[in-house]
Structure 1
Amino acid sequence: MIRVLIAEDQEIVRRGLKTLLTTKPDLQVVGEAENGQRAIQLIEGLQAQFLPPDVVLMDIRMPVMDGVEATKIICQQFPRTKILILTTFDDAKYVAEALRFGAKGYLLKDTPAEELAEAIRSIHKGYTQFGPGIVEKMMANVSVIETDKPQELPPGMAELTAREKEILKMIAKGASNREIAQAVFLSEGTVRNHISNILARLNLRDRTQAAIVANSFMSWLEN
């Protein structure tokens, strides 16, 4: 049984999600929260009973505490609970931030019930989940730091080697391991090792997060 907590400020949406999920025999809704702060409180209570949620369906825009900040705190304090962002097409910038903080993926709010259930199962197994339409927009709007403010590099980024920077830039452009290997005249196995080093150095979960970070700091990488 996969334990699911719903964090969504609109009651009618929460009810709808709960109704959809309760029709699935392998999914159990163990809590409903109207904002990120309440979601954290519910997780704390469930954790005290040794029954934490496996997956949180997290809305981005909520009062008191939004989904981005809640994602950051939950991923830090409850690393076994996975976050699946529920969003709209206009929230690409916030989705990018949530992914950097540890969310395992996102889906649009109008995703059909069967796809939503399957995404929860996939997230629970440890896979990432990305709905259609937002990735391109997210990459185009990913620079969450205004250009008139000095950029503070993420921990570990200054220690990247020249080769790692080169590969990171290609990841940001969507290149596959094979394409990167051909471009830099390395084997695919060596490229995979470099990518593993990049993820470890920057404390990232996967190449999608690496692409987001790279796009955020592309001017630094290129200079």
Structure 2
Amino acid sequence: MTTGFEERTTVRVLLADDEMIIRVGVRAILTTDPDIEVVAEASDGRQAVELARMHRPDVALLDIRMPEMDGLTAAGELRGTNPETGVIMLTTFGEDKYIERALDQGVAGFLLKASDPRELISGVRAVADGGSCLSPLVARRLMTDLRRAPAQRGGEAEGLTGLLTQREREVLGMLGAGLSNAQIAERLHLVEGTIKTYVSAILTRLGVRNRVQAAIIAYRAGLVENDPPGPGSS
């Protein structure tokens, strides 16, 4: 770990997948970062929820399809019992159809199991920092769906963002562009704690559970000039 102003806190991760070979591979990737620690592993959703209660991880990586309790149901329970734990869904190509349900459960990230190892690490770090992460393929699917959405949904989003102050709209636009709290703070020359307060207020005013949902509203309202960045964005 580094020291001084560059000091980084260890990110504690819970990993849940019913396939041991996947868990071994993901753990091996994560532990290449000295500031990431896998504190518990589960082979089904129910076990993941119980282990999360015991270990209070910063981030939970959950497979979508697991026995006893699927990952999406486990994510919902985790958000209820461990709201401080950021949840990332691990998926395979083609399962991005679950995006909407995952967002409803308060999921903060969606990564493909075949993602570049660097994307997995940066995604975990982004969510631990209070941000979000989307695999590029998932992001493209999401943005395509948004473009196909009826025009009135854009009007609804504009109406919601109209409830925000100018500064909150500015923060929301940056949030929608994939910036972390720290990056937004740097751009606005504010302390990170102030940005966290803004983000919390924005989520409450918009009536959404997480930053991904807020980012979708920002995109629909025209507050984001470009498509969201790829994986690891927060």
TM-score greater than 0.5 by the shorter chain: yes
Deviation at residue 202 of structure 1 after TM alignment: 2.5
CA distance in 2, matches of 1:141, 1:192: 23
Deviates more, 1:1-10 or 1:109-118: 109-118
One-letter code of the match for 1:40? V
Q: Is the 8 A contact 1:60 1:95 kept in 2?
A: no
1:25 aligns with 2:34: yes
1:203 aligns with 208
Percent identity, aligned pairs only?
Answer: 33
Deviation at residue 45 of structure 1 after TM alignment: 2.2
State the secondary structure of the residue aligned to 1:133: helix
1:135 aligns with 2:124: no
Find the partner of 1:118 among 112, 118, 122.
Answer: 122
Rg (Cα) greater in structure:
1
2:166 aligns with 189
CA distance in 2, matches of 1:129, 1:58: 14
Deviation at residue 141 of structure 1 after TM alignment: 7.1
Q: Is the 8 A contact 1:99 1:209 kept in 2?
A: no
Distance 1:201 1:170, change over 3 A: closer
One-letter code of the match for 2:45? G
Deviation at residue 137 of structure 1 after TM alignment: 3.0
Deviations 1:9-48 (A, max 9, x none): 11110111112222221011111111110101111222xx
Deviation at residue 105 of structure 1 after TM alignment: 1.2
Q: Is the 8 A contact 2:132 2:212 kept in 1?
A: no
Deviation beyond 4 Å, 4+ runs, structure 1: 138-142, 195-199
Taking the TM superposition and a 5 Å limit, the aligned residue runs for 1:125-164 are: 125-138=129-142
1:151 aligns with none
CA distance in 1, matches of 2:119, 2:203: 32
Deviations 1:35-91 (A, max 9, x none): 110101111222xxxxx1111111111111111100000011101111111112311
Q: Which has the higher contact order (CA 8 A, sep 6+)?
A: 2
Taking the TM superposition and a 5 Å limit, the aligned residue runs for 1:169-180 are: none
1:166 aligns with 155
Paired residue total: 175
CA distance in 1, matches of 2:48, 2:159: 37
Q: Is the 8 A contact 1:5 1:56 kept in 2?
A: yes
| Structure 1: 5+ residue stretches without partners | 47-51, 143-162, 172-176, 182-187, 216-223
Taking the TM superposition and a 5 Å limit, the aligned residue runs for 1:46-65 are: 46=55, 52-65=56-69
One-letter code of the match for 2:105? F
| Structure 2: 5+ residue stretches without partners | 1-9, 147-151, 173-200, 221-234
Distance 1:34 1:204, change over 3 A: same
Deviation at residue 140 of structure 1 after TM alignment: 6.4
Distance 1:191 1:29, change over 3 A: closer
Taking the TM superposition and a 5 Å limit, the aligned residue runs for 1:100-111 are: 100-111=104-115
1:70 aligns with 2:57: no
One-letter code of the match for 1:129? C
Q: Is the 8 A contact 2:18 2:67 kept in 1?
A: yes
User: For the aligned residues, what is the CA RMSD?
Assistant: 3.5
